[in-house]
A = this chain, B = another copy of it.
Amino acid sequence: MSFNPQPVIILVEPQMGENIGMCARAMLNCGLDRLRLVRPRDGWPNAAAKATAADADVVIGKVEVYASLADAVADCHHVVATSARDRSLPIPLLNSGEAAGKVADWSGAGQQVAVIFGPEASGLDNDAISRAEILMRFETNPDFSSLNLAQSVLLFGWEWRSAEAGGRQSGATADLQEAASRKELEQFFNRLESNLEERGFFLTPELKPTTLKSLRSIFSRSAVSEKEVKLLQGMLTALLREKRE
Chain A residues with CB under 8 Å of chain B are 25-26, 28-31, 55-56, 97, 139-141, 144-147, 151, 154-155, 158, 161-162, 165
Contacts and interface: CB of A to CB of B under 8 A. Distances in A.
Contacts of A147: 29
Q: Which of A55, A154, A158, A161 has the most CB of B within 10 A?
A: A158
Given A31-B141, A55-B144, A26 B151 contact: yes
A146 B141 CA distance: 26
B97 A140 contact: no
Nearest to A29: B140
Contacts of A161: 139-141
A85 B158 CA distance: 19
A239 B60 CA distance: 63
Contacts of A30: 140-141
B97 A141 contact: no
A29 B151 CA distance: 10
Contacts of A154: 151, 154-155
Nearest to A32: B141
Given A139-B165, A158-B158, A56 B151 contact: no
Contacts of A55: 144, 146
A153 to B, nearest CB: 11
Nearest to A158: B155
Nearest to A159: B158
A56 B144 contact: yes
Given A25-B144, A29-B145, A30-B140, 19 more contacts: A26-B151, A28-B141, A28-B144, A29-B140, A29-B144, A29-B147, A29-B151, A30-B141, A55-B146, A56-B144, A97-B162, A139-B165, A151-B151, A151-B154, A154-B154, A154-B155, A155-B155, A155-B158, A158-B158
